[in-house]
Amino acid sequence: MPSPRTPPLNTLRAFETAARHGSFVRAATELHLTAAAISHRIKELESALGIALFKRKARGVELTAAGQRYRDSIASAFQIIEQATSTIDQITVDGPLTVSVPESFAQFWLAPRLSRLTQQFAGLELTISGESQLVDLRDGQADIGLRFGTGSYPGLAVEYVIGDAVTVLAPAGFYSTQGDASAKTLLAENT
C-alpha cells in the first residue's frame, strides 16, 4: 500500500516524460494527452511533494536541481517497471518432463499438438509415456499424468482439463428393433 506521501502514478509518468523531453508539449504527444493535462499533473505532483520540479520559461521548461534528482530516481523506477512488463509473458519451462497418458490419447490428441508446445517451450525435454495402466506418480515414474475419469485420485493434485464427448453408434435400423432406444439403455444392454 502506498504511503500517504506517494504521489499518483499518472503524475509521476507525466513528470518523467516531461523531464526526459524537456517539454510539456512533447510529453503530451507521447502520452496522448494535452500539454495542459501534463502541466496540471506536474502541478499536482509539485503540490504533493511541496517542491518545484520545473522552472517555467517562455520557451519551455527546465528542471530544478530537485527535479533533476527526482527524475533520476523516477526514471530508474520506470525502467524497472518496463523491464518487468516486457518479461511477464516470457515464462520459461526448461528441463525434463515425463507425461503419462493413455496410448490412444497420446496418438490422437496429444501428438498433433506437440510441435506447438515444443516451439513455445524450446528448453523443455518432453517424454510422452503412452500406457494402458495408470502409473504411480508418487514414485517418480512420471511427472504428470493425463487420465480419463472423474478426477478422484487420492493423494494427487487433480485438475479438470477437457470434457469427453461420447456418441452412441449403431447399424442402420438398430434403433427400430429396440424398445427403449435411449443411450443409457443401449449402453447398459449392449456393452
**pTM: predicted TM-score of the whole model, two decimal places:** 0.48
| Domains of the chain in sequence order | 9-87 (1.10.10.10), 95-184 (3.40.190.10)
Q: Please give the residue that has the higher pLDDT: either 1 or 41.
A: 41
Predicted confidence at residue 84, as pLDDT, reads 87
Say if CB 137 and CB 144 are below 8 A apart: yes
pLDDT at 174 over 70: no
pLDDT at 53 over 90: yes
- How far apart are alpha carbons 14 and 27 in whole angstroms? 7
Predicted confidence at residue 21, as pLDDT, reads 94
pLDDT at 143 over 50: yes
Closest CA to 143 of 97, 91, 84: 97
For residue range 149-173, list pLDDT tens digits in order: 766 777 777 777 766 665 556 566 6
pLDDT at 142 over 90: no
